[in-house]
Amino acid sequence: MAPVFVSPINVGHIDDVQELRKSKLTSIPQRFIRDIAEDPSLSTLTPPSPSSKPSFTAIPVVDLSKLTQNTQLSKLATACQDWGFFQVINHGIDPGLLERLEKVSMDFFMMPLEEKQKYPMAPGTIQGYGQAFVFSENQKLDWCNMFALGVEPHSIRNPKLWPTKPTKFSETVEEYSREIRGLCQKLLSFIATALGLNKDTFEEKFGVAVQAVRMNYYPPCSRPDLVMGLSPHSDGSALTVLQERKGSPVGLQILKDNKWVPVQPIPDALVVNIGDTIEVLTNGRYKSVEHRAVTHKDKDRLSIATFYAPSYEIELGPIPELVNENSPCRYRRYNHGEYSKHYVTNKLQGKRTLDFAKINPTNSS
């Protein structure tokens, strides 16, 4: 008899948050309620009182069409160094395509649960429909449904997870992913230039870059002060490009100077952030910044993240030109495939995942 594969991971029962929302329950299930005693930063989930001053801090805006000019390039450098996040305008991607992607993504999430469950995210994996990064039955859950797909190279695809419905879903994701790939390549060449490196530095190192897309759907939650949309984390990618559905409420927050700063999306702009890989390659000059998503009482929210990263085959470490007396080497060399495995087999836990690469993890920031 063939051996039966038993997953060593027991994640317990995971309620589907859209179904919970539909069931009009009177209280939030315990597994979604965050423990403020364990993590005091969660106290900021409580909405500010109406009399408190609104926050005017805004992440930098970079105009891709002007990046050949020095002033815009230094804006990009400041955005990467001081924020790790920026919004890119005039990116050249047709707003009609962004809108079509939003539509097929929403149509996907609005399908009956049985239809979505034809593409299940197996426990401990990160592709398909469900909740990623859950590894035990004691772990708190995020108020979010995800649908994630490996896109490039084709060898990382699981064709069984590419949905046949809604019609045009797969072809729209393909078209969108090609455009975002081009955008990431352009941004990386400008980032290299801003660092004083040859513009092809990252592309040459990356091999055939890995690209994945994840749609995050956050239904409204009657108690946004008790739950988390997406737990605090940094991205394991080199760059992440985030599209937020037009009209969605503000949900993304980034950790800046120990404060959670909300990101107010600009219509048709894309949010870009530095991932762990660029932090390592730049020897910490450009940091992957911790971020999270919060929920809204009455409004749902959709975000679509594309993760762009080196091939799993390559060895990574700080670029020698960025290591010197004033900036001693802070990260060891490692295989990127191993880091990706480490990233996807651990729960989201702020920036702790990157300790994997730090030479002195206690001396972290």
Ligand X SMILES: O=C(O)CCC(=O)C(=O)O
Q: Which residues bind ligand X (CB under 6 A)?
A: 214, 216, 230, 235, 242, 251-252, 291, 293, 303, 305
* Closest separation in Å from C-beta 322 to ligand X: 26
- Which segments of 171-326 are extended strands (E)? 210-218, 230-233, 239-244, 252-256, 259-262, 270-274, 291-293, 301-309, 315-316
Asked whether 268 and 331 are in contact (CB, 8 A), the reply is no
Which of the listed partners (ligand X, Fe ion, none) does 252 bind, with a CB threshold of 5 to 8 Å by partner kind? ligand X
Q: Judged by CB, which is closer to Fe ion: 172, or 288?
A: 288
* Closest separation in Å from C-beta 151 to ligand X: 14
Q: Judged by CB, which is closer to ligand X: 189, or 216?
A: 216
Compute the CA torsion angle 158, 244, 51, 258 (nearest 10 deg).
60
Q: Are strands 85-89 and 61-63 parallel, antiparallel or unpaired?
A: parallel
The tally of CA atoms less than 13 A away on the side-chain side of residue 62 is: 30
Interaction between residue 290 and Fe ion (CB under 5 A): no
* Closest separation in Å from C-beta 292 to Fe ion: 8
* Closest separation in Å from C-beta 149 to ligand X: 13
Interaction between residue 235 and Fe ion (CB under 5 A): yes
Which of the listed partners (ligand X, Fe ion, none) does 287 bind, with a CB threshold of 5 to 8 Å by partner kind? none
Which of the listed partners (ligand X, Fe ion, none) does 274 bind, with a CB threshold of 5 to 8 Å by partner kind? none
Q: Judged by CB, which is closer to ligand X: 151, or 305?
A: 305
Q: Judged by CB, which is closer to ligand X: 187, or 239?
A: 239
Chain-centroid distance of CA 267 in Å reads 19
Q: Judged by CB, which is closer to ligand X: 67, or 280?
A: 280
Q: Judged by CB, which is closer to Fe ion: 161, or 289?
A: 289
Q: Judged by CB, which is closer to ligand X: 98, or 293?
A: 293
Tokens 């815009």 locate to 72
Q: Which residues contact 141 (CB under 8 A, 6 or more apart)?
A: 14, 15, 31, 32, 131, 134
Q: Judged by CB, which is closer to ligand X: 236, or 318?
A: 236
* Closest separation in Å from C-beta 93 to ligand X: 18
* Closest separation in Å from C-beta 350 to ligand X: 12
Q: Which amino acid is at 315?
A: E
In DSSP notation, 203-229 reads HHHHSS-EEEEEEEEE---S-TTT--S
Tokens 């870009």 locate to 272
* Closest separation in Å from C-beta 22 to Fe ion: 27
Q: In what order do the strands lie in the sheet with 301-309?
A: 61-63, 85-89, 270-274, 239-244, 301-309, 210-218, 145-152, 128-130
Q: Judged by CB, which is closer to ligand X: 195, or 348?
A: 348
Which of the listed partners (Fe ion, ligand X, none) does 293 bind, with a CB threshold of 5 to 8 Å by partner kind? ligand X
Angle, vertex CA 353, rays to CA 351 and CA 354, nearest 5: 75
* Closest separation in Å from C-beta 145 to ligand X: 12
Structure tokens at 262: 């909300």
Which of the listed partners (Fe ion, ligand X, none) does 59 bind, with a CB threshold of 5 to 8 Å by partner kind? none
- C-alpha span between 365 and 357 (Å, rounded): 13
Window contacting Fe ion (CB under 5 A); options: 12-20, 113-121, 214-222, 234-242: 234-242
Contacts with Fe ion: how many residues (CB under 5 A)?
1
Which of the listed partners (ligand X, Fe ion, none) does 275 bind, with a CB threshold of 5 to 8 Å by partner kind? none
Q: From residue 329, how far is each of 77, 191, 299, 342, 361 by CA, in Å?
A: 21, 20, 46, 22, 13
- C-alpha span between 17 and 129 (Å, rounded): 12
* Closest separation in Å from C-beta 126 to ligand X: 11
Contact positions toward Fe ion, by CB under 5 A? 235
